[in-house]
Amino acid sequence: MIIAGVDEAGRGSLFGPVVAGAVIMDESFLEHEDIKDSKALSFERREKVFKYICEHAISISVGVVSHRFIDKYNIHIASLEAMKRAVEGLFIRPDLVLVDGIHEIPIPIPQRCIKKGDKLNKLISAASIVAKVYRDRIMFAYHKKYPFYNLAENKGYPTKTHKEMLKKYGPSPFHRLSFKGVKIEK
């Protein structure tokens, strides 16, 4: 049976896309001690484990959904869409998808939703690392264009500094205008 894990990153960010990772990996490679929830790893450790996953995975895919899609539909629908795109991008169709969270993805493949799956299941943990590293790299690129928001550090999340810069400069063209803290008060 071919099983994929899928998870997303960037759900609570005020800036940029939501990104999902999908991973199919042989169980023997999942024994790596640092394949765990991406939030539990330092930046340097996460980068090393990402490289390990890329070298040993049977298939990896990433799904990216823009801030415009998020603003049009909402973050929940956008997260499911990102996960759908990630799973559909795998070059092998899985027999089962393990999904982080409580909501199934709109795809015709059997699924098992696991609440806090990024902490409980190694395949979902691997997917969380892929999603987080990919999204962080997008934020580093945006940081070069919008350095005053400090995206290289906060990754678009609502830190004190990010919120202060939003008040000072207003939102960029890539902020999620539907999110509290970004909405322009009239």
Q: Which pLDDT belongs to residue 27?
A: 84
> Is residue 71 situated within a structural domain?
yes
What is the tally of structural domains in the chain? 1
pLDDT at 31: 82
Q: Considering the domain boundaries, does residue 108 fall inside one?
A: yes
The share of the chain scoring above pLDDT 90, in percent, equals: 86
Which pLDDT score, from 0 to 100, does residue 184 have?
A: 59
What is the rounded average pLDDT for all residues in the chain?
94
- Domain around 64: 3-169
- 185 within domain boundaries: no
* Residue 179 forms part of a structural domain: no
| CATH number of the domain bearing residue 74 | 3.30.420.10
Read off the pLDDT of residues 149-161 as tens digits, 9 standing for 90 and up. Answer: 999 999 999 999 9
Per-residue pLDDT tens over the stretch 117-165 = 999 999 999 999 999 999 999 999 999 999 999 999 999 999 999 999 9
DSSP the chain: --EEEEEEE-TT-SBS-EEEEEEE--GGGGG-TT-S-GGGS-HHHHHHHHHHHHHH-SEEEEEEE-HHHHHHH-HHHHHHHHHHHHHHT-SS--SEEEEESSS--SSSS-EEEETTHHHH-HHHHHHHHHHHHHHHHHHHHHHHH-GGGTHHHHTT---HHHHHHHHHH---TTB-TTSTTTSPP-
Inside any domain, residue 186: no
Indicate whether 183 belongs to any domain: no
Residue carrying the six token digits 């539907």: 178
pLDDT tens track for 69-111: 999 999 999 999 999 999 999 999 999 999 999 999 999 999 9
Q: Judge whether 127 lies within some domain.
A: yes
121 found inside a domain: yes
pTM above 0.85, yes or no: yes
